[in-house]
Structure 1
Amino acid sequence: MQIINTSQGVGGILNSFKSLLNGVEKITFVGTPGFCTPFAELMGFVARDKKLIFIPNMDFEKARLISMTPEGMQLGEPIDAHADAVVLLGGLAMPKIGVSPDKAKEIAEKVLEGSNKRKIIGVCFQSMFMQQKWDEVISFDYIINADLAVEVLKS
């Protein structure tokens, strides 16, 4: 894979994500509840003009609509998870979660069934997809890889 863009911060992640969505009408995020859900909602905010879905724990049948509410992006009613783009979130690749890249590839293919647009996007931190070799199994069209620097200050 080649680097096509670099940026910083949350805005960099969101702008990078939005730039990959040309021609996409329906996006399904796949991730772990709790850890990945807020990232799907955050990225969904910049794509709120699209149909947005979240699949928790690789369970296609438990897909939920992500919609804009007065309180922000929220998970809503059950919905068909088929979409033009699937976004695999890096929390799935953490070893303690126990998801194999082969299983993630299967669900990505299921989400994209019937679509002629078919984008597979990965979003991870600290090169998780590369560290766990998911990029060798899944044909990602794009991976957004971010690093986090953390400082705790005391006055």
Structure 2
Amino acid sequence: MPIINTSEGVGGILNSFRGLVEGAKRITFVGTPGFCTPFAELLGFVVRDRELAFISSQDFDKARSIFKDYEGMQLGELTDKHADVVVLLGGLSMPKVGINPEKAKEVAKEILEGSENGKIIGVCFQSMFLKQKWDEIINFDYIINSDLAVEVMEV
């Protein structure tokens, strides 16, 4: 899998994402509730001029809108799940979540139904999609992978 771009930090993730979804009118994020939701909202901020939706792994049949209000990006009312781009978030691939890649692939296919040039983008940390071999099941167009370094300092 060739690396087409490298960057650092949250800005690097956001700028990379914005570049990959250029031209998309509708983007649907799929992830676990709680853990993935804030990442969908964060990524959604840089494309807030598009129609955005979030699907929770607790109910793949229901999509909720993501919208900007004065407090930032928020989940809203039920909406259509169909999109030009589906973003699978790495929390789905964590072993304790219990979602298999075949199910995620099926969900992505449903979301992209009717899209002429639909894309599947994975966004994960610490190579979760690769470690769990999701890239062998799902035909990702792109994977944004990031590593986290954590320092706790006593001052």
TM-score, normalised via structure 2 length? 0.98
**Which residue number corresponds to residue 125 of structure 1?**
125
What is the DSSP-based 3-state SS (H/G/I as helix, E as strand, rest coil) of the residue aligned with 2:61? Answer: helix
Q: Is the 8 A contact 1:30 1:58 kept in 2?
A: no
1:5-154 equivalence runs, <5 A? 5-57=5-57, 59-154=59-154
**2-structure distance, mates of 1:86, 1:112:** 7
In structure 2, C-alpha distance between the alignment counterparts of 1:146 and 1:91, rounded to whole Å: 13
The CA distance in 2 between the partners of 1:52 and 1:60, in whole Å, is: 16
TM superposition shift of 1:86: 0.1
Instruction: Report which stretch shifted further, 141-150 or 14-23.
Output: 14-23
Contact 1:31/1:58 (8 A) holds in 2: no
**1:56-82 per-position Cα deviation (integer Å, ceiling 9, x unaligned):** 016233210000001100000000100
What is residue 4 of structure 2 aligned with on the other side?
4
RMSD: 0.8
Secondary structure of the structure 2 residue equivalent to 1:113:
coil
Secondary structure of residue in 1 paired with 2:83: coil
User: How many percent identity over aligned positions?
Assistant: 70
Runs of 4+ residues over 3 Å off in structure 1: none
How many residues are treated as equivalent by the alignment? 155
**Residues 68-104 of structure 1, C-alpha deviation per residue, up to 9 Å, x if partnerless?**
0011000000001000000000000000000000000
Q: Say which SS state the counterpart of residue 10 (structure 1) adopts.
A: helix
Normalised TM-score (structure 1): 0.98
